[in-house]
């Protein structure tokens, strides 16, 4: 689960509170975190420090990177929580290490003052984060409406935020009735997280967050596990035993001793060890930490893909995509030559729009050939030329690995899928 939302909505505090409620963080650690927060004159940030572990994050009070997943043990499965940065400057980390690795997203909303409106307005991160999460395959969403304790658990405010978000979520292709849940909480006090609703919040008759988490059914990955291995690399570092990698297994199974291919360099590597979790093999859907031998930091990058050694993954510098144009804060015209940053599971690279091939209607038929410009809401096919060759799957082959996000400067401008690999 990727925890997303506008800056200062309380995401890290909520993940810290969930860690305390589930027993991952004991009383002694909580007291130590409180002392550090007090020394930084940020007393209310103590729980957030469980996730914001670097000195820069703690002093600034802002999450900069997606840290290691916090594992919450539930009744029938383990839930990995990925705390994503909310500041617009760190959206790339939110995409590559958060939304791209998640099955479900939880968006945290600050209900106080005009904070929700700031995050929901043009240029705010609430809409952008939700749009990106949906584009990368998260079709289930938990909406945690936070800080309601500061306004007396005002039901009118909760209902107003729910109404505005519902309209937007429907336009973003969410099945609101079946796959979106709204829960009122106070991340700081724990009410609605684990502590039951009572008193001024007794109007809410639904579950707490932890109660709701126990009702989520993990996705069936049996078909993906039967396929050849593909794993996206999230983070790397060099250790004495070899190259340390944090990965998400997209398809197949990765075991200790497996011989792998590193894409796009096409070098070989061997799985020397699986550090976390302490198992002999990771399967589709698992997030884990492994050590590789036979490769170097020059050959493997944080956006590389690992595959079965005998598997051939398409590789090219030019791809054909189908994408919907998103109304962003920059209002930049979408024309050939526009520089972009290209994101997908396993890829983050620069490039530009080479050609606007055709404008599509709602049925996918050609509405106009070779348009000169695209505007917000348009659905179109585009040729994208990238700064370097990437390995990427097609929509008809592996949907999870074909989903893409295009950004210009600090703005998300398009979401879609890769449908064809083109030659240079």
Q: What gap in Å lies between CA 130 and CA 172, rounded to an integer?
A: 8
Tell me, yes or no, if the two domains 2-213 and 315-422 fold the same way. no
Angle formed at CA 244 by CA 239 and CA 247, multiple of 5 degrees: 170
Structure-token pair, residue 352: 């530009």
User: What pLDDT is attached to residue 424?
Assistant: 53
Q: What's the CATH fold of domain 315-422?
A: Elongation Factor Tu (Ef-tu); domain 3 (2.40.30)
Q: Does CATH place domain 222-308 in 2.40.30.10? A: yes
User: What pLDDT is attached to residue 297?
Assistant: 86
Q: What gap in Å lies between CA 194 and CA 74, rounded to an integer?
A: 13
Q: What gap in Å lies between CA 277 and CA 400, rounded to an integer?
A: 23
- CB atoms under 10 Å from CB of 253, counted, come to 18
Q: What gap in Å lies between CA 22 and CA 208, rounded to an integer?
A: 13
- CB atoms under 10 Å from CB of 38, counted, come to 12
Structure-token pair, residue 129: 């984060």
User: What pLDDT is attached to residue 397?
Assistant: 84
Each residue of 322-336: b (16+ CB within 10 Å) or e?
bbbbbebeeeeebee
Q: What gap in Å lies between CA 74 and CA 133, rounded to an integer?
A: 23
In the DSSP assignment, the letter for residue 45 is G
Question: What is the distance, to the nearest Å, from the Cα of residue 208 to the centroid of all Cα atoms in its chain?
Answer: 23
Closest CA relative to residue 217, chosen from 252, 191, 182, 179: 179
Q: Which positions ≥6 away from 335 have C-beta within 8 Å?
A: 353, 356, 372, 373, 374
Q: What gap in Å lies between CA 232 and CA 134, rounded to an integer?
A: 19
Q: Which positions ≥6 away from 222 have C-beta within 8 Å?
A: none
Find the distance separating the first CA and the last CA of the chain, reported in whole Å: 37
Q: What gap in Å lies between CA 101 and CA 233, rounded to an integer?
A: 10
Q: Indicate the angle between helix axes 125-135 and 155-171, nearest 10 degrees.
A: 50
Structure-token pair, residue 144: 């945690």
3-state SS assignment for residue 125 = helix
Cβ 15 vs Cβ 79: under 8 Å: no
Report the DSSP beta bridge partners of residue 81.
Answer: 70
> Which CATH homologous superfamily contains domain 2-213?
P-loop containing nucleotide triphosphate hydrolases (3.40.50.300)
pLDDT in tens, the chain (424 residues): 888 888 788 888 898 888 887 776 766 776 776 677 666 665 556 676 765 454 544 444 444 344 556 778 888 888 888 877 644 544 555 565 556 667 899 999 999 999 999 888 766 788 888 888 888 888 899 999 999 999 999 999 999 999 999 999 998 889 999 999 999 999 999 999 999 999 889 999 999 999 999 999 888 889 999 999 999 888 889 988 899 998 889 899 999 999 999 988 889 999 999 998 899 999 998 888 999 999 888 888 877 889 999 887 778 899 999 999 986 666 778 999 999 999 887 678 899 999 999 999 989 999 999 999 999 889 999 999 999 888 888 888 888 888 889 989 878 899 999 999 986 5
Q: What is the pLDDT of residues 240-277, one digit of tens each?
A: 889 999 888 989 999 999 999 998 888 999 999 999 88
Q: What gap in Å lies between CA 299 and CA 123, rounded to an integer?
A: 37
Question: What is the distance, to the nearest Å, from the Cα of residue 345 to the centroid of all Cα atoms in its chain?
Answer: 10
User: What pLDDT is attached to residue 260?
Assistant: 95
User: What pLDDT is attached to residue 57?
Assistant: 43
Domain extent listing, the chain: 2-213, 222-308, 315-422
DSSP string covering 106-120: EEEEE-STTHHHHHH
Q: What gap in Å lies between CA 245 and CA 291, rounded to an integer?
A: 6
- Order the strands of the 140-146 sheet from edge to edge: 70-73, 78-83, 2-4, 104-110, 140-146, 180-184
Write the secondary structure of 57-88 as one string of H (helix), E (strand) and C (coil). HHHHCCCCCCCCCEEEECCCCEEEEEECCCCH
Q: Which positions ≥6 away from 374 have C-beta within 8 Å?
A: 325, 333, 334, 335, 356, 359, 380
Q: What gap in Å lies between CA 288 and CA 276, rounded to an integer?
A: 5
pTM: 0.82
Cβ 143 vs Cβ 11: under 8 Å: no
Identify the residue whose tokens are 């040729």.
Answer: 383
């Amino acid at each position: 689960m990727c925890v997303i939302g506008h800056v200062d909505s309380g995401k890290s505090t909520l993940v810290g509170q969930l860690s305390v409620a589930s027993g991952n963080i004991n009383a002694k650690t909580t007291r130590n975190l409180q002392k550090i927060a007090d020394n930084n004159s940020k007393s209310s940030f103590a729980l957030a420090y469980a996730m914001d572990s670097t000195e820069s994050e703690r002093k600034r009070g802002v999450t900069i990177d997606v840290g290691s997943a916090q594992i919450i043990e539930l009744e029938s499965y383990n839930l990995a929580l990925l705390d994503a940065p909310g500041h617009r400057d760190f959206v790339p980390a939110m995409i590559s290490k958060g939304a791209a690795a998640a099955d479900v997203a939880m968006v945290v909303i600050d209900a106080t003052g005009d904070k929700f409106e700031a995050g929901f307005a043009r240029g705010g991160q609430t809409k952008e984060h939700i749009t990106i999460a949906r584009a990368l395959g998260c079709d289930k969403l938990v909406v945690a409406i936070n800080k309601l304790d500061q306004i007396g658990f005002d039901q009118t405010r909760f209902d107003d935020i729910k109404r505005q978000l519902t309209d937007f979520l429907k336009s973003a292709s969410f099945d609101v009735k079946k796959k979106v849940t709204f829960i009122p909480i106070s991340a700081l006090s724990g009410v609605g997280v684990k502590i039951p609703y009572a008193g001024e919040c007794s109007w809410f008759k639904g579950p707490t967050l932890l109660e709701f988490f126990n009702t989520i059914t993990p996705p069936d990955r049996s078909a993906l596990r039967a396929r050849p291995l593909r794993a996206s690399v999230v983070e790397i570092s060099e250790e004495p035993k070899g190259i340390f990698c944090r990965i998400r297994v997209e398809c197949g199974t990765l075991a200790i001793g497996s011989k792998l291919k590193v894409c796009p360099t096409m070098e070989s590597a061997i799985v020397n060890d699986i550090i976390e979790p302490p198992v002999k093999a990771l399967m589709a859907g698992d997030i884990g930490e492994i050590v590789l031998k036979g490769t170097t930091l020059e050959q493997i990058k944080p956006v590389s893909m690992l595959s079965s050694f005998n598997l051939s993954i398409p590789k090219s510098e030019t791809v054909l995509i189908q994408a919907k144009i998103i109304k962003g804060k920059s209002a930049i015209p979408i024309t050939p030559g526009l520089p972009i940053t290209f994101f997908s599971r396993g890829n983050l690279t620069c490039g530009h729009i080479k050609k606007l091939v055709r404008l599509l209607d709602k049925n996918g038929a050609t509405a106009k050939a070779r348009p000169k410009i695209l505007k917000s809401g348009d659905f179109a096919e585009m040729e994208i030329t990238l700064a370097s060759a990437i390995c990427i799957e097609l929509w008809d082959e592996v949907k999870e690995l074909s989903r893409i996000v295009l950004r210009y400067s600090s703005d998300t401008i398009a979401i879609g899928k890769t449908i064809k690999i083109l030659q240079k």
